[in-house]
Amino acid sequence: MLITDDIFQAFLQCETKAHLQLAGAAGDQQVFPAWERDRVEAYKQHYHLHVRADCREDECLVGVAWPHALAHRLWRRVMDCQVQAHALQSHIHIVERGTSAGQTPHPPYIPVRLIPREKLTPQDKLMLAFDALVLAAATGHALPFGKIIYGGTYAVAKVTLEAWLPSAQAVLDKIMAQQASRNPPPLVLNTHCAACEFQAHCRQRALEKDDLSLLSGMTAKEKQKQHRKGIFSVTQLSYTFRARRKPKRFAAKPEKYSHALRALALREHKIHIAGQPALTLKGTPVYLDVEGVPDRDFYYLIGLRYTSGDASLHASFWANDMAEEQEMWAACLQALAKIDRPQLLHYGSYETLFLKRMKERYPDVVEQPAFLDQLIKEAVNIVSVSYAQIYFPTYSNGLKEIAHYLGFHWSESDASGLHTLMWRGEWECSKDERLQQKLVTYNAEDCEALERVTTAIAQLCQGQGEAAQATEHTIVHIDAMKRENPDHFARNEFALPEFDAINKAAYWDYQRDKIYIVGTKFTRPSVERLSRTASRRILVVHPFSFDMFGSLCDTSLRSGT
């Protein structure tokens, strides 16, 4: 079977995705893949128009398969060139012909990738290296470098292929090994899932399996560690949680995030609290949510929600383009200045970075620098309050999941940050007001959801008893949790009584291998024989050393153990 550039890219995103595509499966969610495809196609067309003026018609070909139609032609550039060699195939965005100092067309060729984004990732370079592998196999020429043209200004990045070809070949080898294997790769939900066509299929499978990868933030290393211990499901993991009292000297140390505690919260459908979470509000809470285009470092929408008297108010600030960002920020600051002692509350570090960047980017906008400094200083990231301390029965700490748990619903039920990127991209092309309104509504609902989550967290911080009533959810404080079986394992109930006897016998052996108190000379030979076995760790205690063990040995001997 052919390994195409689509398969290669899918493998870089997720092994399961590549496996499903190789098997010919088609996912249900085509919105994002189609949007991404259209974006790249539109970018290619724009670039083609941009460079057309440099080329004569017979120098610039479009959509041909290598090497057909290229023989005896004085072409310099082929757009959308399909190249196939052995079991590899790639639709190379552009193949350029290298030129010597004398401008005589001759090999080697240069593969070129077109990327609409403003920032490049290692994946982009690996994709270029894959193009180079296929082109080198088809032409028989080594390709020293390739190019990536990216962003609105068609910036050019020259990529030395030598550095990327071994990694691309390693990925290819893994894909071939996967093809040859009969077993599918293990399902691991990951950050690409939100944009993947198989999202619904995989999430359903993971839920059926109660898979550990449902817990967001659990790294592959942590998962492997749990697998080595025989723990494969969230429910299994939940049973590993042990409530331990923190020694007084570590009281000030921040709590450590525990996946096992989150698993327990999910299993019991209860909010679990570790430590003493605290949320201090000093002024009028103003819920802040910002939308932007991350790869352009551009912010286009700010939402503020606050109360005035009994009324909840919302204000939105919009920028059509980068040139209007400063105006948008200035309007937002003016609105904040009218609120009595505003205190910004936001969810996640995106807004923290936004405030920092706005201050640096537009220092002249601020009439009273002390006011902005105070706003930034007193701003609270709600995630930092709840992280590792408040565990809602949700698979992640995401605003969407927690707000859903608390009964909040968005008008676009499955909308996410990825949707906003898509809507904004479409709005930039069409200037359709309905898309702009969709974005403003989504942002306003994010602010409202943030208020709901903050209120619940504030109640939990103030007093768990009251909060339990106020939020209508049961809460558990792990410091007060009754430790189940603190000093011994639970008694096993066996289906067959014979297993009980076998289990007891196994325990005798276990004890004998670990600590053996030698009380008489009759037992000594067997102990000495055992102690010669290197693999066993035995502490041999002779009778004359009984004094050292004092009451412990005394008790052991008296009880006959």
Return residues touching ligand SF4 (CB under 6 A): 13-14, 16-17, 20, 187, 189-190, 192-193, 196, 198-199, 202
Between 189 and 339, whose beta carbon lies closer to ligand SF4? 189
Burial of residue 324 (number of CB atoms within 10 Å: 0-12, 13-18, 19+): middle
First to last CA, the chain: 67
Between 20 and 126, whose beta carbon lies closer to ligand SF4? 20
Residue 419: strand, helix, or coil = helix
Between 196 and 375, whose beta carbon lies closer to ligand SF4? 196
Between 115 and 193, whose beta carbon lies closer to ligand SF4? 193
φ/ψ of residue 290, rounded to 5: -125, 140
Sign of the Cα pseudo-torsion (120, 126, 129, 131, in order) = negative
> Hey, what amino acid is at 154?
Y
188 within 8 A of 219, measured Cβ to Cβ: no
Between 196 and 406, whose beta carbon lies closer to ligand SF4? 196
CB of 15 to ligand SF4, least distance (A): 7
CB of 196 to ligand SF4, least distance (A): 3
Between 197 and 291, whose beta carbon lies closer to ligand SF4? 197
CB of 187 to ligand SF4, least distance (A): 6
Residue 407: strand, helix, or coil = coil
CB of 33 to ligand SF4, least distance (A): 10
Spatial separation of the C-alpha atoms in residues 400 and 414, rounded to whole Å: 9
CB atoms within 10 A of CB 30: 11
**Cα→Cα distances 516→68, 524, 532, 539, 556, Å:** 82, 10, 14, 6, 11
Q: DSSP string spanning 315-355? A: EEEE-SSGGGHHHHHHHHHHHHHTSSSEEEEESSSHHHHHH
Q: Which two tokens stand for residue 404?
A: 């859903």
431: left (phi over 0), alpha (psi -120 to 50) or beta: left
Between 11 and 442, whose beta carbon lies closer to ligand SF4? 11
Between 27 and 98, whose beta carbon lies closer to ligand SF4? 27
Spatial separation of the C-alpha atoms in residues 291 and 237, rounded to whole Å: 36
CB of 202 to ligand SF4, least distance (A): 3
138 within 8 A of 84, measured Cβ to Cβ: yes
Q: Which two tokens stand for residue 199?
A: 């999202």
SS (H, E, C) 525-552: HHHHHHHHCCCCCCEEECHHHHHHHHHH
Nearest by Cα to 481 from 255, 270, 242, 235: 242
- Could you tell me how far CA 136 lies from the centroid of its own chain? 35
Between 16 and 459, whose beta carbon lies closer to ligand SF4? 16
Between 17 and 272, whose beta carbon lies closer to ligand SF4? 17
CB of 223 to ligand SF4, least distance (A): 13
Between 37 and 431, whose beta carbon lies closer to ligand SF4? 37
CB of 176 to ligand SF4, least distance (A): 19
Alpha-carbon dihedral 162, 167, 170, 176, rounded to 10 degrees: -100
CB of 198 to ligand SF4, least distance (A): 4
